[in-house]
Amino acid sequence: MLYALLGGFGVAALAAWLHRLTGRHSGWILALWPATLLLYFLSFLPDINSGTVLFFYDWIPSLQIRLSFRIDGLSLLFALLISGIGLFIVAYAGRYLEGHRDLGRFYVILLAFMSSMLGVVLADNLIALFVFWELTSITSYLLIGFNHEDASARRSALQGLFVTVGGGLALMTGLILLGQVGGSYELTELLDNGDAIRQHALYTPILLLIVLGAFTKSAQFPFHFWLPNAMAAPTPVSAYLHSATMVKAGVYLLARLHPALGGTELWSALLGTAGAVTLFIGIWLAVRSTGIKKMLAYSTVMALGTLTLLIGIGSEQALAAAMAFLLAHSLYKGALFMIAGIIDHETGSKDLRDTGGLFRAMPVTAVVAGVAALSLAGVLPMFGFVAKELLFESVLDDPRTWLLAMVVAGAVMTVAVAALIGILPWYGQPVATKKIPHEAPPALLAGPVVLATLGLLGGLFAPWVDQHLLAAATSAVAGTPVNPDLALWHGINPALGLSLFSLIAGLLLYRWHDGFRTATAFTDTLAKRGPERGYDWLMAALVRIAETQTRFFQSGYLRYYLMITLLTSMSLVWLVIGMKGDGLRLHLDLRDVQFHEAVLIFTLMAGAITAARTTSRLGAVAALGAVGFTVALLYVMFSAPDLGITQVLVETLTVILLVLVLFRLPGFLKLSSTALRVRDAIVAASVGVTMTALVLFALDARLYDSISHWHIAESLPSGYGRNMVNVILVDFRALDTLGEIFVLALAAIGVLAMIRLRAEDKRHE
């Protein structure tokens, strides 16, 4: 099992090389991998009704992240679709993109996607599922932007990625919460634990977060807009990712978690509403489109809405309908997309209005398109019909009549779309196309032929499909064994009536679709204000906010940086003093101050103020020197002769250094206004006052005696020196000194490099 999944990434890694090796027929060669997978998954089919098969591999046991996989009806249905359609897509891509310089890269990403998608539907561990989920988003991004020199493709790719990954983050949080509430990340345990989860206080946030993730992935309103834009990808990608597989991941997740989360009013309301709205908006926009791929994309949105709606209704019948609809849709939509690609490939046309009368040139394609379109329209005896009957029956049973209205309206328009695609390009007057049309080569036709045929066979042998796959899938979604009894013919009942009605009304709509399109043009303005505008607005706002706040914080002026840093520090200190400062006392006792000490302090302050206020550089140096020498005197007075001597020497050298530098500097300019200087003085004073206050507080807050008594006692007997300062410097704390002499050396190298390197650069210029 692990090989089946991770092997795909290995094959993907080799794909570019294999492509170079096998040249023209690389498509068929690489299709061997999905074919193998298909056979592997088919081998599970006979036993699928006897229960779930589980596989366990450890990954990160400490975080309960395991590579555990399950095969039950639902995952097998998806796995078969992914590998089966994948097989034809790879072969198709080999021909469709033949000679494209990036075909090798294309295979790599496509195969990586296939493995990721299989991971999503097979994973039993929620986090593993999420890992694969995100991988599908990334591979989808790379595929939408496959023609990456085109700016609009890049934009669409980003949009798809942003929406799906954004939802993915919500999903991740939801899954973490779910794992926390359910006590495990394993679906096997969670699915049996539904009652406890539904009654938990966190149920609502969990549901909302997971639903958000699923909706973005499966393009539910109001996140549907990225999907039509994703059609910037090459057609095999649209057929595979954005119709048959990836966009169904959200639906898969909802179906998968139905036993754990489903069945509540919130579930039904959320999914039912979103599904119905998505369904309606999707098919509405589909009828209004003229681009073949756009139309198919919007009808995919419709299908995704339908699936969400059915899972939301959640009755056994609805779930069965969902599974049937899912299968039917993947078959006919995969076929129709590949046919759209064939039309594009053979005629150069992407728009319905540029086609017509193609039957003569490409009869096989036309017939296949017709068969697939019949299934889309839900006409007897196609599998699409079976699905549609079930859909009507499920919605008829739901008390919400407005759902029924939406579904029927959707069905009518679906028939119209099917007719547009199944009839318009092929019959009637031939339209001159960019290329002279030819019948498509086998590699392109294989997929549509097989998928369309399966759609027909599925209808004819509906009970067989039911018993061998869909019953198991429905049971997996329902959480209990279900026997939906799929059949082609349900007898004469209201659902059949609705079917007939939608068929007739749909054909009428097709007959007058030009008029319809003109009459409904007003909705375009509505659509322009739709959620995509919201997305654009958000992205623009993001950049604007980013720029504004960055201009504010990262202004480029050191004085503001310094001011914010200092004021933040001081306010934080005062915050502590204000909130916790009970018991702090300023230890200020001036009685013992001697006269000469006062004089020194006065000199010190005068020096500092002069240095800050003077307008002459030399004056500033002199004032600073005065400060330095006074400090040295203070050291001596408080019996620290070493420090005093050092200070004097350092002061001397500093003055020399300053003098060396000073006469190279430009004249002293008074740039800041008085107001600014006052502001700066306030900031500086606040720091000074705060620090002084802290020192005075500290004098009164001593908790322990210093350890320095040990140093005094041990200096001579252990350190063999009477000068304790020196013993500390070279022995007790020699490591500090070692560090500091390296600091000195660093400073020297820095100055040297700065001056000499610049001089050398100048010489080179």
Partner 1 sequence: MNHGMALDILLPILIPLAAAALSLICWRSRALQRGISVMATTGLMVAAVVLLVRVYDNGIQVMYTGNWPAPFGIVLVADLLGAIMVVLTGITGLATAIYSLATISKAHEHYGYYPLMHLLLAGVNGAFLTGDIFNLYVWFEVMLVASFALLILGGERAQMEGAIKYVTLNLVSSAMFLSAVGLLYGLAGTLNMADLAEKLAPHQDNPMVQIVAMLFLVAFGIKAGAFPLFFWLPASYHTPRVAVSSLFAGLLTKVGVYALFRVFTLIFPLGDSLIRDLLLGMAGATMLVGVLGAAAQFEFRRILSFHIISQIGYMLMGLALFTPLAIIGGVFYIMHHIIVKSNLFLISGLVYRLQGSYDLKQLGGVYRQHPWVGILFLIPALSLAGLPPLSGFFGKFIVIKAGVEAEFWWLVAVALVVGLLTLYSMIKIWAEVFWKEMPEGSTASVQQRGGTGLMVGTVVALASLTVLIGVAAEPVYQLASATASQLLDPPGYINAVLGDRS
Partner 2 sequence: MNNPRQHQSLILRVTGYFLLPLLILFSLFMLLRGHNEPGGGFIGGLVAAAAIVLYMIFSDVKAARRLVAVDPRDLLGWGLAIAILSGLPGLFLGQPFMTSQWMELDVPMFGMLKVGTPLLFDIGVYLVVIGTVLTILLTLAEAED
* Contacting residues toward partner 2, per CB under 8 A: 641-642, 645-646, 649-650, 652-653, 656-657, 660-661, 664, 719-723, 725-727, 729-731, 734-735, 737-738, 741-742, 744-745, 747-749, 751-752, 755-756, 759, 762
Least distance from partner 2 to the Cβ atom of residue 623, Å: 22
Structure tokens at 551: 């201009």
| Residue 528 interacting entry, from partner 1, partner 2, none, C-beta within 5 to 8 Å by type | none
Closer Cβ to partner 2, 564 or 661, answer by number = 661
Q: How far is the CB of 755 from partner 2 (least distance, A)?
A: 5
What residue 761 binds from partner 2, partner 1, none (CB within 5 to 8 A, per partner kind)? partner 1
Residues that bind partner 1 (rule: CB under 8 A) add up to a total of: 105
Burial 664-682 (b: 16+ CB within 10 A, else e): eeeeeeeeeeeeeeeeeee
Q: With CA atoms as reference, report the closest residue to 242 among 120, 170, 354, 143.
A: 143
Angstrom distances, CA of residue 613 to CA of 346, 600, 619, 631, 692: 84, 20, 10, 20, 22
Report the distance separating Cα 325 and Cα 383, nearest Å.
9
Single residue of 432, 492, 526, 558 touching partner 1 by CB under 8 A: 558
- Residues 95-124 touching partner 1, rule: CB under 8 A, are 105
- For residues 245 and 85, the answer to whether their CB atoms sit within 8 Å is yes
Does position 162 interact with partner 1 (CB under 8 A)? The reply is yes
Among 113, 130, 226, 332, binds partner 1 (CB under 8 A): 130
- Contact residue for partner 1 among 4, 111, 177, 369 (CB under 8 A): 177
Partner in contact with 710, chosen from partner 2, partner 1, none, beta carbon below 5 to 8 Å by kind: partner 1
Nearer to partner 1, 689 or 752 (CB): 752
The torsion angle over the Cα atoms of residues 650, 655, 656 and 659, rounded to 10 degrees, is 160
Specify the amino acid at residue 200: H
Tell me which of partner 2, partner 1, none is bound by residue 173, counting a contact when its beta carbon lies within the kind-specific cut-off of 5 to 8 angstroms.
partner 1
State in angstroms the smallest separation of the CB of 112 from partner 1: 12
Q: Which helix (H) or strand (E) holds 67?
A: strand 65-71
> Binds 481, which of partner 1, partner 2, none (CB < 5 to 8 A, cut-off by type)?
none
Neighbours of 162 (CB within 10 A): 17
Considering beta carbons, is residue 669 or 735 the nearer one to partner 2? 735
Cα–Cα distance between 751 and 757 in angstroms, integer?
Answer: 10
Reported as half-sphere exposure (CB side, CA atoms, 13 A), residue 167 has a value of 28
Nearer to partner 2 by Cβ, of 564 and 751: the residue is 751
Q: Which of 81, 123, 170, 477 is in the footprint of partner 1 by CB under 8 A? A: 170
Judged by beta carbon, residue 360 or residue 733, the one nearer partner 2 is: 733
One character per residue 565-584, x = contact with partner 1 (rule: CB under 8 A):
xx-xx--xx-xxx-xxxxxx
The minimum distance between CB 730 and partner 2, in angstroms, equals 4
**Which of the choices partner 2, partner 1, none does residue 720 contact, using the CB cut-off of 5 to 8 A by kind?**
partner 2
By CB atoms closer than 10 A (0-12, 13-18, 19+), residue 731 is middle
From partner 2, partner 1, none, interface partner of 653 (C-beta below 5 to 8 A by class): partner 2
Residue 675 or 703: the one with the smaller Cβ distance to partner 1 is 703
175 contacts 130 by C-beta, under 8 angstroms: yes
Give the residue with the Cβ less far from partner 1, 400 or 679. Answer: 679
439/453 Cα distance (integer angstroms):
19
* Residue (166 or 719) nearer to partner 2, CB: 719
> How long a stretch of residues is the chain?
765
Cβ burial, residue 218 (10 Å; 0-12/13-18/19+): buried
Place of tokens 């003098």: 659
Buried b / exposed e along 346-379 (16+ C-beta atoms within 10 A): bbebbebebbbbbbebbeebbebbbbbbbbbbbb
Compare residues 404 and 694 and give the one whose CB is closer to partner 1. Answer: 694
Q: Which of 561, 616, 681, 689 binds partner 1 (CB under 8 A)?
A: 561
Q: Do 220 and 275 meet the contact criterion of CB atoms below 8 Å apart?
A: yes
Distance CA 407, CA 339 (A): 27
Q: Which of residues 41-60 bind partner 1 (CB under 8 A)?
A: 58-60
Interface characters, 57-86, with partner 1 (x: CB under 8 A): -xxxxxx-x---------------------
**Nearer to partner 2 (CB atom), residue 682 or residue 741:** 741
Residues in 647-706 at the binding interface with partner 1, rule: CB under 8 A: 691, 694-695, 697-699, 701-706
Distance CA 406, CA 398 (A): 13
